[in-house]
Amino acid sequence: MSARHPLDPLTADEIRAAAAIVKSERGVTDRWRFASIDLREPSKGERTPAREAEVVCWNRDDGAAFKGVVSLTEECMRSWTPLRPGEHPPMTPDEFHDCDEELRKHPRMIEALNGRGVTDMDLVLFDTWAYGAELVPERFRGRRIAWADVWHRDSPEANPYANMLSGLHPVVDLNTMELLELEDADPGSAPRVMGEYAPGLVPDLKLRQDVKPLGIIQPQGPSFTLEGNELRWQKWSMRLGFNYREGLVIHAVAYEDAGRPRRIAHRLSFAEMVVPYRDPTPDHYRRTAFDIGEWGLGLMTTSLELGCDCLGEIAYLDAVLPDSHGEPRTVKNAICIHEEDDGVLWKHVDDRTGAQTRRMRRLVVSFHATVANYEYLVYWRFHQDGNIQCEVRATGIMVTTPFADRPPPYGTVIDQRTYAPFHQHFIVARLDLDIDGERNTVYAAEAAPLPTGPDNPHGLAITQQLTPLTTEREGIQDYDWHRQRGWKVLNDGVANGLGTPVGYKLEPGAAIPPLIDPDSPVVRRAHAIEHTLWVTPYNADERWPCGEFPNLSAGDSGLSSWTARDREILNADVVLWYVFGINHVTRPEDWPVMPVDTVSFWLKPFGFFDRNPALDVPAHPHV
Ligand SMILES: [Cu+2]
């Protein structure tokens, strides 16, 4: 094989080679599907690893599913392990499309649609969702089951998610593509909604006339360099990866200080996303999406367009992903890399010397995923002062439902007799930080105001209280607004010029409480959402916070079961799992397409440098 960097994603040839080896060595036929073919990342510290792929596939005839490791270097199988009972490979985009094709020609489906006055099948969309095991009807348990919504668009180009056919839900065996059940409750008359957002379809839309061009010009090109997947910008360096499940992965993040690169993060990614709809009515009670574990943010990644998604001098990286037949598919321009002006970085006006002002720039690495009706736009931003901001913008089209007379209390009315159910988006960021090395300790950092007393006669004193988190149980932390709680990751073995340990602080943003019965089936599958932060000692096998196979799962073999061992995390190679997101109380303004809802958190140097590291930013690089 070619001389790839050990962390570079699999190439199209490597995906093909891995599939061919599995097919020839394990008798895998066309009746099988591949759920994933992914780089087996070398574990930390491994120097010259062999190139290996991890493959999950299953036999559609008997449902038998396996995880295999393939050596691409030696062109052979390394291992072949059956999935445990109750474990199901993730959903694949091919099944979504095949299911849609089968359902649109199924006589029972056509008859049900005719009964509702829908005769043109080209206007219908079958939107397949995964299940949690406990909600699968008893008689179908153990099979590869999915359920679907049925949507009807007003015209061939119209918004497919504008009109839900309420009460109509096929339940399908994805291996046989058999329609097992068709729920068909009488919906009453359908309301007339205006669910269009494309300019040609919005009635009486007049586009604003007072918007003049705004260009980003970089006559000498951008200030970053991208060689293969290695990205360098000013003092930052990192390596970009991508996989079917997490989408963008950022490896080996370092900042050059006094001529030497200093390590900050070994690996940054999103490891899970849990989206429970908080509406118990028949159209929604099963709606609990695991967009990463069930579907894959990488597989849902869409191509970016210059001038729309990103402005300026852009570099793009393509992504190569497997389909369910083991064939590679390329997403052009999957990752965008560019610089942005970000307002003022620092400033002071002095009577004698006048103003010293520096403008800030940030390096942005981003990708966009379209998960059926919804979009997630993910931005990792690296700033000149050492800050890292992780931002997510949620947009796209909300799930909406007509109601007969009175709206249910579980959503907001957004159009004629139509409501959008409340739901939550929990994102679990996996942050494998290595602050100047692997031995780090996480401290809860809280504001501690002191009581009024002899040393504090006016009640003004406030201190910072640092509490080391020594074991995994202590590492389970919640956001606390009253104490301004954040988390410092310190390397107690490395001191800065002031004699204090070097560190970075995780500044929580968009932390949301679960607001849900801890015994509800979705929590049993996703205990991660119950807390803001989890801390574990690094283990190469611990990557998926709600378990490796959340599709059709009943329980959670991720964070909750790892941390039950209560391992030491003091002065250890720690991994932080930060849970943030949106408690989406739907608004009329989110319809028919949602303006971005933006959430973020920060990683900020805290004593990592001895002083403001951006004193050396020149005054006028922008003109
Ligand atoms: Cu939402």
Quote the pLDDT of residue 4. Answer: 78
Q: Which of 55, 49, 22, 52 lies closest to 40, judged by CA?
A: 52
User: What is the whole-number distance in angstroms between the Cα of residue 291 and the centre of ligand 1?
Assistant: 13
User: What is the whole-number distance in angstroms between the Cα of residue 581 and the centre of ligand 1?
Assistant: 9
- Band the pLDDT of 608: cuts 50, 70, 90: very high
User: What is the whole-number distance in angstroms between the Cα of residue 421 and the centre of ligand 1?
Assistant: 9
Quote the pLDDT of residue 620. Answer: 77
Between the alpha carbon of residue 414 and those of residues 69, 278, 589, the distances in Å are 49, 17, 8
**HSE of 268, CA atoms in CB hemisphere, 13 A:** 25
User: What is the whole-number distance in angstroms between the Cα of residue 356 and the centre of ligand 1?
Assistant: 43
Quote the pLDDT of residue 48. Answer: 72
Model confidence over 403-413: pLDDT tens digits?
Answer: 999 999 999 99
Model confidence over 476-497: pLDDT tens digits?
Answer: 999 999 999 999 999 999 999 9
User: What is the whole-number distance in angstroms between the Cα of residue 373 and the centre of ligand 1?
Assistant: 10
Residues 428 and 273: beta-carbon distance below 8 Å: yes
Average pLDDT of the chain? 96
Quote the pLDDT of residue 365. Answer: 98
Q: How far is Cα 91 from Cα 296, in angstroms, rounded to an integer?
A: 8
User: What is the whole-number distance in angstroms between the Cα of residue 610 and the centre of ligand 1?
Assistant: 41
Quote the pLDDT of residue 21. Answer: 98
In this predicted structure, the answer to whether residue 417 has a pLDDT above a threshold of 50 is yes
Quote the pLDDT of residue 307. Answer: 87
Residues 488 and 606: beta-carbon distance below 8 Å: yes
- Band the pLDDT of 621: cuts 50, 70, 90: low
Beta bridge mates, 236: 233, 255
Burial of 189 (0-12, 13-18, 19+ CB in 10 A): exposed
Peptide bond into 408 cis (omega under 30): no
Quote the pLDDT of residue 240. Answer: 98
Quote the pLDDT of residue 623. Answer: 53
Q: Which of 155, 97, 154 lies closest to 126, judged by CA?
A: 97
Q: How far is Cα 495 from Cα 435, in angstroms, rounded to an integer?
A: 11
User: What is the whole-number distance in angstroms between the Cα of residue 182 and the centre of ligand 1?
Assistant: 27
Strand locations in 211-298, DSSP E?
Answer: 224-227, 230-233, 236-243, 247-257, 260-276, 288-290
Mean pLDDT over 153-163 rounds to 97
Quote the pLDDT of residue 46. Answer: 82
Between the alpha carbon of residue 154 and those of residues 191, 193, 207, 591, the distances in Å are 12, 10, 22, 16
User: What is the whole-number distance in angstroms between the Cα of residue 96 and the centre of ligand 1?
Assistant: 21
Q: How far is Cα 53 from Cα 59, in angstroms, rounded to an integer?
A: 19
Q: Which of 203, 135, 193, 136 lies closest to 161, judged by CA?
A: 193
User: What is the whole-number distance in angstroms between the Cα of residue 399 and the centre of ligand 1?
Assistant: 9
Model confidence over 280-326: pLDDT tens digits?
Answer: 999 999 999 999 999 999 999 999 999 889 999 999 999 999 999 99
User: What is the whole-number distance in angstroms between the Cα of residue 372 and the centre of ligand 1?
Assistant: 13
Model confidence over 419-437: pLDDT tens digits?
Answer: 999 999 999 999 999 999 9
Mean pLDDT over 119-134 rounds to 97
Please give the positions annotated as active site: 291, 374
Mean pLDDT over 510-531 rounds to 98
Mean pLDDT over 553-570 rounds to 97
Q: What is the CA radius of gyration of the chain?
A: 26
Q: Which residues 6+ apart lie within 8 Å of 34 measured at CB?
A: 19, 22, 55, 56, 57, 92, 322, 323, 324, 325, 326
Residues 48 and 42: beta-carbon distance below 8 Å: no
pTM, full prediction: 0.97
Between the alpha carbon of residue 485 and those of residues 386, 435, 490, 583, the distances in Å are 21, 20, 16, 20
Quote the pLDDT of residue 1. Answer: 38
Burial of 105 (0-12, 13-18, 19+ CB in 10 A): exposed
DSSP assignment of 28-59 equals --TTEEEEEEEE-PPPTT--SPPPEEEEEEEE
